[in-house]
Structure 1
Amino acid sequence: MEVIFHWCILGKFHRKAAWAMVAICLSLMGTLAWSQEPARPTIDLAEFVQRLLPLESDASDQTDLYESLLLLYTNPLDLNQATREELAATYVLSEAQLNALMAYRQAVGPFLSVYELQAIDGFDLPSIFDLLPFVTVQPPRMGLRTGWVQPTQHFLMVRSGKLLEQQKGFSAIDTNARSNTRYLGPAWNGYIRYRKSRTGLYSLGFTIEKDAGERPWNWSPKRQIFGPDFTSFHAQVLNRGRVKNLLLGDYQLQVGQGLVFAAGFSLGMGSEVIRSTYRSTLGLRPYTSALEANYMRGLAATIRVGPRLDVTLLGSSTRRDGSLDQAVADPNEAVISSLVGSGYHRTAAERDKHGNISEQNIGFHSLYRLKSQQGQLGLTSLYTHYGIKIQRKAQPYNYYEFSGADHWVLGLHGDYHWQNFHFFGEGARSQSGGIGAVGGLIAGLGKTVDFTFLLRHYDKDFHTFYGQSLAESSRPINEDGTYWGLRYSPSRKWQFSSYYDYFSFPWLKYLVNAPSQGYSYFLHARYKPHKRFSAYLLFQQKNKERNLPNSEASLVPLVETERRSAVLHMQWDKPMKYVLRTRIQYGAFRYIGYSESRGFTVVQDATWKFAKGELSGRLAFFKTDNYDSRQYVYEKDMLYAFSIPAYYDTGTRHYLLLKYNLSNDLRLWLRWSQTRYQHLDSISSGLNSIAGKTRSEIKAQLLYQF
């Protein structure tokens, strides 16, 4: 069958004639296509994320992205049903490739096999290999009853782990010390996940999680605490007549460019310099992460009102963690001084904040699709009510922050495709009158050059609680920016990428006592002579203004800071045998005019694959002047786990990870990791501190597939 496809591709026909010939070939081979559908390749999602975001400063920022990609990997897109938006969210295909795939499907008809990707103009083997883990070709859609007994995914997973060294929070109380606070629960952490689903039909699942130091059991339904520290559940039905999507339980909504509703499908600024500017409209998604914030809990539905018009309605009633304080006007009135999203409930003070604030949401989204998937227009609205009024602490940088118990935000988004140009944008207005706006384009300038441009503007009083559009800051507020991205692929072996981003903050920020500005740029070169070896070299620099630390001046001056990073990464891969990765990483940070902090890391990873599993390990040496030049490097971890520790001081980091198939249905993971520091006598701080120079962790995980 594969030979026939190559014959169809290589024939020197007019494009329409070639498509017709491919269709004839497919019809002749139709009875064999589904039976010969290849198994989807496995993927190391941590390594995939590292390629997209090779330099990171905080692991928690990308956990939601990892969960979203994992959800996509475990529920692959059907090439015959997937929309352009869903395919774009894989971050694999260029604008020209998306156009070619849509045109091929419209001209030839339904795919019979993923082998057909080879027949699409502009699809090279590296792109196909990157896409295969996220797509499949399924038989014609079956009924719900049949799909229930033939799920595409059905598993139960249990994981636990603990630090081998004792943290202060688990030690005996020192009666001579000022503080006698300790963690209330045991030192081990626990995680349970169950899911049963059939792509395009339904999904049912729950997640249970307990962090180290939290009590294993607590029952407080009024605060939505149902035994374990965090519980999450969802039940979803898809494509039942006019009901396109019905979700009960925990969920997220991803529409437009993320000004009003945003889920985890966002890259930010990284080595994917082109598609990072655009966010796909994916609609309602079940929430499966263990992150204890930024999700809704209730009922939501998307209804097909017309052939090209969908309407989504949602209602949510959940609980949030918050720090309470006295109101400025009335000391007897309690107000929320800040919302807490860490998810930790280990001490008495943290437990008091657990679910202590009620939050209700009512939302609306309508989406009108233009003909032939040329574009779409959408309208969004979200009303939020808190049981207690929010009033930030009286600091100058909080002057324009949201204050009150009720809030609404209204947005309008759209995008349009013309040839290899993709125009997109979104504007929103919050109750305060603040405006947020994003607009840009992605262009395929021939087969070798891709270009993107994005403008963003967020008023200092623009407020959005569930929005997360592209920004230098962690939230889209008080920022203006311009982003340019360029990618040049002269051959299949070489690819060069770069971006430049300028940003300014019209009002004050935390630790920035005046309006400020900055810029960043990124250079990336990738070399892949064949599928067994790849390498990339990158450089990134970011300059931004901050308060001068330890200043004794009455008015603390702003000083420009500079952070520079460089990485050389190489990988050797022998299929079904081994993978070797070598990484050299350098970083430096300084307040311009003052001394510079430098650091580097040398990492060697190895994975050996055998009949019943694989064994992976790492040896790393790091040296930094101080915490300012710390190094973050992704680590291979268990399925559904994500690890990116900070390397600082001078020392070594190593781990061993065993994955073993006990049977066809039962898999086991065991992981041991350790960091050794040369100069530290105490690791971390507060109740997390460890006396000594070593920090070690063990974890175990079992996955049963029904």
Structure 2
Amino acid sequence: MGRLITIAALLIWILGIHSAFPQQVQRPEIDLESLIERLFPIPEEDVDYERIYEVLLQLYLNPINLNKADFDALQAIYLLTPSQIDGLLSYRSRYGNLLSLYELQAIPEFDLETIDRIIPFVTLEDGEKRTEPFWKRLRNEEQTFLIFRHRRVWEKRKGFSPPDTSSTGRISSRYLGDPNDLYLRFRTQRSRDFSLGFTLDKDAGEQFIWNHPSRRYGFNFFSFHFQRYQVGKWKTLALGDFQASFGQGLVFGAGYTLGKGAETVPTIRRSSVGILPYTASLEWGFFRGGAATYRHKKWEFTALVSSAPRDGRSVSAIDSLADENFFINSFNQSGLHRTPSEISTKNQFREYNIGSAIQFQVNPKLSIGSTFLHTQFSQEWIPTSRPYNQFEFQGKTNQLGSFYFNYNWKNFLFFGESALSKSGGNGSVLGFITSLSSQVDLSMLWRNYDKNFHSFYGNAFAESSRPINERGIYMGMEIRPIKKWKLNAYYDFFRFPWLKYRLYNPSFGNEWLTRLSYQASKSLQVFLQYREEQKDRNLPDLNEPQTTYQSATVKRRNGLFNLDYRINKNLFIRSRVWWSQVTIQSQQSNGMMVVQDIRLDQSRWKITARYALFDTDDYDSRIYAYENHVLWTFSIPAFSGQGQRYYLLGEYDLSKKLRLYFRWARTTYTDREKISSGLQEIQGNRQSETTLLLRYFLNR
């Protein structure tokens, strides 16, 4: 009876307020800029944005079935609070499966803003119905496409100029390849059924050459994956390149893992999404081999094996018996192989991994799990000795194991993981997320990573880029005092018990952020954001004994004002003002950036344009600004100095099967006649770049 009343009410609501949704709810394209602003970590140089961006797109292409997803899967999209997830699960338990996405309005914890936000990532369709044989589904899948992308900076960099000879007769190094950046990808996939694809990539400056001694075969990088889902009791079967995500990311931390951003509550918790296909073009941080997850009643068992080449620099050592041994003293994670020196690091050793994960669903509220990973290198790894890396990993093998849990009690979601590495170093995370009321959400996370905790694939919540040598506590909240207004805030206190790169003494710091948002209507949104951070950094070494290894506190402040306005269904504008200030030993530097975006949408084409002015005193006061780009391409450059930035991005459907993307961008500086340095140096004050991308659907 209750279900009939609910459906009747929904019918009245749909007929009376059909302006809130179209009659047929379609999955819209995601507004990447808005979503990235809220979900991505605050921009820093050591954040792997491309990998996060890649998994975000995969989440969009593989929507979650709201009628089948469990708590962990629903939390993985980072757009729902624990109370909203509980409300959805309770509604399903009481009334059965949702008949329409409109029905989300009947769940008390859901509002129109939440529904609008999650629609691109969810579905009610059962992608697991397989009435046709697998090979026929694979051959006829509509989501089968081929992508080709070309990028190029048109001003000549020093690396592409003829080499010169120094006074000592030494010939300078130059890039061996051309300035074209080439990318090719094939992908076919069906949500919760299969995924098959490959990625080929050549960076600017790399040679397009077939050369076995240097391990280069046309494109510089090749990646392949094949995964099946829900084959009998096998939840996942994977071959080729893949990633793994379990617990809170202390051992296996791949996937859509975020940090401190404007979405201050749900993003602190990681989800055990299991084995994921690796589809990015980054040349490190993935497994290459096979993996499988087997489901038996309330148990899930995962095993993986991997053998992958890695870039590094080999050094020879002669022992007392005059035997020559080779060891690795540095990794090359840039993936660039443009000069003879960079080529000499390519695939210099192999990394072998054997891992496992076991998860048990004790009851609907509690799940526990355990992970283990054994890593072995073909050569011993002995990093160059520095004061800050005395406790870093050395040797040929590392073992790492952990225990994790998730417990949902009323409006509280508790989670945690504790891991131990071969060195005896411990890493632990413990936290909770809660909805104190319909207006207030709260989160808290404590972490402790020893200075000798070694995890090569860990990506747990941390101030640093890796979970090592850090202790801290994070508190976040979201308050919705009245309709249309929202306040997000967090405070994070952290300590580094041992030395760090560019910081040769133990230290501590803190960071806080607040964002006030006003949603005046569906077409107008305004927000104001302020962030402040304090942590220590080494002072420059002036070759004076009294200044060596001295440090000082660096205080960073930045603010952002944003206004979004949709003039009509085809025209959208966004206006932004950034401000930054950095204080080091009473010396201040400031920065400012003003941006105007405009987007025009039509049925077959879309145009996005930006004009921006920036003015910063130095590189410390630089400003990061996310930019729209062609499909599967991410851009969040840092701007310093004085100048202007503008770009034009066009998308056009040439046919039902073929879509064209083209982007032209230019930065013009008014404070210099030379851009960058070393082999990347450009003589002149402007840098222009074009990007051309074609996406072809094979089965449309």
TM over 0.5: yes
8 A contact 2:127–2:191 mirrored in 1: no
- The question of 1:535 aligning with 2:526 is answered yes
Once residues 172 and 232 of structure 1 are traced to their aligned partners in structure 2, the CA distance between those partners, rounded to angstroms, is 33
Is 2:375 aligned against 1:388? Answer: no
1:371-396 Cα deviation digits (max 9, x unpaired): 23x13101000000001111111112
Q: Provide the C-alpha distance between the structure 1 equivalents of 2:522 and 2:139, rounded to a whole number of angstroms.
A: 38
Which residue in 2 is equivalent to 1:86?
Answer: 73
Aligned pairs (5 A) from 1:258-657: 258-304=249-295, 306-327=296-317, 332-372=324-364, 374-551=365-542, 552-554=544-546, 555-574=548-567, 576-591=569-584, 593-657=585-649
- Measure how far apart 1:219 and its partner are: 4.6
Deviations 1:140-191 (A, max 9, x none): 7322536335535211111101011001111111234755211111110011
| Paired AA for residue 289 in structure 1 | A
Q: Describe how 1:689-700 pairs up with structure 2 within 5 A.
A: 689-700=681-692
1:95 aligns with 2:82: yes
CA contact 2:361–2:367 (8 Å) conserved in 1? yes
Match of 2:86, SS?
helix
Measured after TM superposition, the shift of residue 406 of structure 1 is 0.6
What amino acid sits opposite 1:586 in the alignment? Answer: W
Q: Does the CA-based 8 Å contact 1:605-1:616 persist in structure 2?
A: yes
Shift of 1:226: 4.3
1:218 CA displacement: 3.0
Contact 1:183 1:214 (8 Å CA) reproduced: yes
Note the C-alpha offset of 1:71. Answer: 0.4
CA contact (8 A) 1:59 1:643 kept: no
Q: Structure 2: state its 5+ residue gaps.
A: 12-21
Take 2:600 and 2:394, find their aligned partners in 1: how far apart are those partners?
Answer: 55
Unaligned runs of 5+ residues in structure 1 are 1-16, 28-34
Is the Cα contact below 8 Å between 2:127 and 2:190 reproduced in 1?
no
Post-superposition Cα deviations, 1:48-105, rounded to whole Å, max 9, x if no partner, equal 1123247412385221111111001112112223232222121211111111111112
Aligned to 1:30: none
Please give the per-residue CA displacement for 1:235-261, whole angstroms capped at 9, x wherever unaligned: 111101111100001000011100000
Moved over 6 A (4+): 23-27, 328-331
Count residues with an aligned counterpart. Answer: 680
| Amino acid across the alignment from 2:282 | L
- 1:163 matched to 2:147? The reply is no
SS at match of 2:102: helix
- In structure 2, relative to structure 1, the CA distance for the partners of 1:225 and 1:507 (3 Å cut) is same
Rounded to whole Å, the distance in 2 between the matches of 1:295 and 1:414 is 25
The one-letter code sitting in structure 2 at the alignment partner of 1:447 is S
The equivalent residue for 1:3 is none
Report the counterpart of residue 184 of structure 2 in structure 1. 192
Per the alignment, residue 119 of structure 2 pairs with 132
Q: Which amino acid aligns with 1:201?
A: D
- Secondary structure in 2 matching 1:687: helix
What whole-Å deviation, never above 9, does each CA across 1:457-476 have from its counterpart, x for those lacking one?
Answer: 00110000000101111110
Check if 1:703 corresponds to 2:695: yes
Deviation per CA, 1:330-360: give whole Å up to 9, x if none.
7942221122211111111111111111010
**SS across alignment from 1:187:** coil
Question: CA contact under 8 A between 1:619 and 1:655: conserved in structure 2?
Answer: yes
CA apart distance, 1:129: 0.8
C-alpha spacing 1:36/1:705, structure 2 compared with 1 (3 Å): farther
CA distance in 2, matches of 1:168, 1:365: 49
Judged with a 3 Å threshold, the aligned counterparts in structure 2 of structure 1 residues 676 and 376 are, in CA distance, closer, same or farther, namely: same
- State the alpha-carbon separation in 1 of the partners of residues 416 and 319 from structure 2: 41
Counterpart of 1:56 in structure 2 is 43
Q: Quick one: which of 24, 27, 45 aligns to 1:40?
A: 27
Residue number among 163, 173, 181 corresponding to 1:173 in the alignment = 163
* The one of 649, 655, 658 aligned to 1:666: 658
Task: Give how far 1:290 is off.
Answer: 0.7
Q: Name the CA shift for 1:255/1:154 in 2 (closer, same or farther; >3 Å).
A: same
**Percentage identity across paired residues of the two chains:** 39
Task: Label 1:369 to 1:225 Cα distance change in 2 as closer, same or farther (>3 A).
Answer: farther
Local SS of the residue matching 1:215: coil
* Conservation of the 8 A alpha-carbon contact between 1:59 and 1:644: no
The answer as to whether partners of 1:503 and 1:518 remain within 8 angstroms in 2 is yes
Q: What letter is aligned with 1:441?
A: F
| Counterpart residue number, 1:18 | 2
> Whole-Å Cα distance in 1 between the matches of residues 171 and 430 of structure 2?
52
Q: In the alignment, is the contact (CA less than 8 A) between 2:613 and 2:644 conserved in 1?
A: yes
Cα distance, 1:314 vs structure 2: 0.2
Residue matched to 1:121: 108
Q: Distance in 2 between matches of 1:97 and 1:225?
A: 51
Rate the CA distance shift 1:140–1:69 in 2: closer, same or farther, 3 A: closer
The Cα of 1:325 is off from its aligned counterpart by: 2.8
Q: CA deviation at 1:328?
A: 9.2
Q: Is contact 1:296–1:318 with CA below 8 Å preserved after alignment?
A: yes
SS of corresponding position for 2:607? strand
Query: Aligned AA for 1:204?
Result: L
Q: Specify which of 670, 686, 689 is matched with residue 678 of structure 2.
A: 686
**TM-score, normalized by length of structure 2?**
0.94
Provide the rounded CA distance (Å) in 1 between the counterparts of 2:41 and 2:412: 28
The alignment's C-alpha RMSD in Å is 2.1
Q: Deviations over 1:95-144 (max 9, x none)?
A: 11111111112222222322222222211111111101111121473225
Which one-letter code corresponds to 2:621 in the other structure? S
Q: Are the aligned partners of 1:189 and 1:210 in contact in 2 as well (CA < 8 Å)? A: yes
For the Cα contact (< 8 Å) 1:489–1:495, is it kept in 2? yes
Q: Contact conserved, 1:209 with 1:231, CA < 8 A, in 2?
A: yes
Q: Cα distance, 1:559 vs. partner?
A: 1.0
8 Å Cα contact 2:558/2:578 also seen in 1: yes
Q: In structure 2, do the counterparts of structure 1 residues 467 and 54 end up closer, same or farther at CA, with 3 Å as the change threshold?
A: closer
Change (3 A) 1:482 1:466: same
Q: Is the CA contact 1:23–1:108 (under 8 Å) kept in the aligned structure 2? A: no
SS at match of 2:99: coil
* The one of 52, 55, 58 aligned to 1:68: 55
Deviation at 1:45, TM superposition (A): 2.1
- The normalised TM-score by structure 1 is 0.93
- 3-state SS of paired residue (1:628): coil
Asked whether 1:201 is paired with 2:200, we answer no
Closer/same/farther in 2, CA of residues 179 and 475 from structure 1, 3 Å limit: farther
Shift in Å at residue 556 of structure 1?
2.5
1:370 is paired with a residue of what secondary structure?
strand
2:264 and 2:312 mapped to 1: Cα distance?
36
Match of 1:212 in 2: 204
